[in-house]
Each structure stands twice: as structure tokens, then as C-alpha cells.
Amino acid sequence: QVVSSWVPWNKNKMVGYLAASVYQSYAAIYGGGWITSFDTNSMVIMVFFRAELELLRIDSKNIFGTESKQVEHDVAIKRLKDCHRRHVELVKFARLFDSCLSPIMLLYMFVCSVMLCVTAYQITIETDPMQRFLTTEYLVFGVAQLFIYCWHSNDVLFASEDLMRGPYESIWWTKSVKYHKDLYLLVAQFNKTVVFSAGPFTMLTVATFINILKGAYSYYTLLSQSQMK
């Protein structure tokens, strides 16, 4: 069998054993497929947001063209409006995505913290080499899954913070005060940070991942000391 579980038939017979194995295999593949598809879509969306922020910084840098080839007034105003509109839409859809992701990540961070503590303790007390290897593999993949979420979310946060530099990297000093006012409005819009969270408590960043590891190690130490007593 894949896992030890209850089924409404006798598993001690060959037919019941095969039926239970087929059912559990299907459930494992189906559940794994759902988790894989969710993680893949989430990662791709995070990478998309980061790429859009980086492209927006490049476009805002080229609002007025270059020193050797400056654009006309109408073109510059159009580029300003386009950058502003794109960032408004980016913030809107990022918050929509975060509203779907945040509750799931809050639950997963709690589960991961407990899983890290328990599996690390189980590895130290396990005597069977194969079982220890399987437990270690489960621990590594669980940690890697959370780390990938925190890593990509951290990239989005840094790209969002660097976005404000785009307008200042343009040739704004060659323009009149009227252009400066419009550029300040764009900078104010870019000041809205795009970041993903895990519930209302914390952001998904590498620093958060490190804090989870520290907390799990503290629980593991406490559990080991209590077991020794």
C-alpha cells in the first residue's frame, strides 16, 4: 500500500489489497497533480509580476527618450500616462492574486513550521536507514517548496522597490517644471509596493523563511530536551 489507511473492505486478501493500492495510488497522483499545478501557476505568476515591474522601470527610464534623441511633447505625455496606467493595473491584479494566495500560504507556513520540527526530530530517533532517507527527502522537498515561494515573492518586492528609480534615471533635468510635476505623480504611483503576504501577519520574503527555520529549530531543541528528561 502507499500509506496505512482504513478502507471499507478487507485489505488482508489479495483483491482488497490491490483495490486499496489502486485507490491510494490514484489519490496520491491526483493530489500531487493539484499541488504541482497550483505551485507552478503561482510561481509563473510571480515571475510575470517581477518581469512586468522590470519592464516598467525600463519604459519609465525612456519616457523622454535619450539626450541625443529626445521625443516630442505628445509622445512623452503618452508614455507617462501609459506607465501610470500599467502600474495601476499591476497593483490591482497583484492584490487580487495575493488575496487568493495569502490564506493558503498562512496555512502552509504553519504546517511547514510544525513539519520541520517533527520530521527533524523523527530523523534523529529513526533507526531504519530507508525510513530515515524517506523522512529526510520529505523534509528537503517541504523546505524547498516554501523557499521557492519566499524567493520569488522577495524578487517581486525588490523589483517593486527599485521601480521608483526608473523616472529618476530618465533625462528629466532637461525638461521644464511642467514635466517635473507629471513625473512626481508617476513616482508617487510607483511608491505603492507590490508584495505578497502570508495572511495579515507577515510578508513572503527570504527573511520570513529564515525566521521560520529559526522557529522550527527552537521547537526541535525544546522537543529534544523534553524527550531526554
The C-alpha angle with vertex 144 and arms to 141 and 147, in degrees rounded to 5, equals 155
Q: What is the mean pLDDT of residues 133-161?
A: 89
Burial class (CB in 10 A: 0-12, 13-18, 19+), 156: buried
DSSP state letters, 64-92: TB-SSSBPPHHHHHHHHHHHHHHHHHHHH
> 115 CB contacts (<8 Å, ≥6 apart)?
139, 142
DSSP state letters, 136-189: HHHHHHHHHHHHHHHHHHHHHHHHHHHTTHHHHTSSGGGS-HHHHHHHHHHHHH
Single-letter code of the amino acid located at 133: F
Nearest CA-CA partner of 63 in 84, 91, 90, 48: 84
Evaluate if residue 223 carries a pLDDT over 80.
no
**SS3 label, residue 7:** coil
Please tell me what DSSP assigns to residue 171. S
Q: How confident is the model at residue 1 (pLDDT cuts 50, 70, 90)?
A: very low
Q: What is the mean pLDDT of residues 189-201?
A: 89
HSE-CB of 214 using CA atoms within 13 angstroms: 6
Q: At what angle do helices 129-162 and 73-125 cross, to 10 degrees?
A: 160
β partners of residue 203: 197
pLDDT digits (tens, 9 = 90+) for 16-64: 888 888 888 888 888 888 888 888 999 999 999 999 999 999 999 999 8
pTM for this predicted structure: 0.81
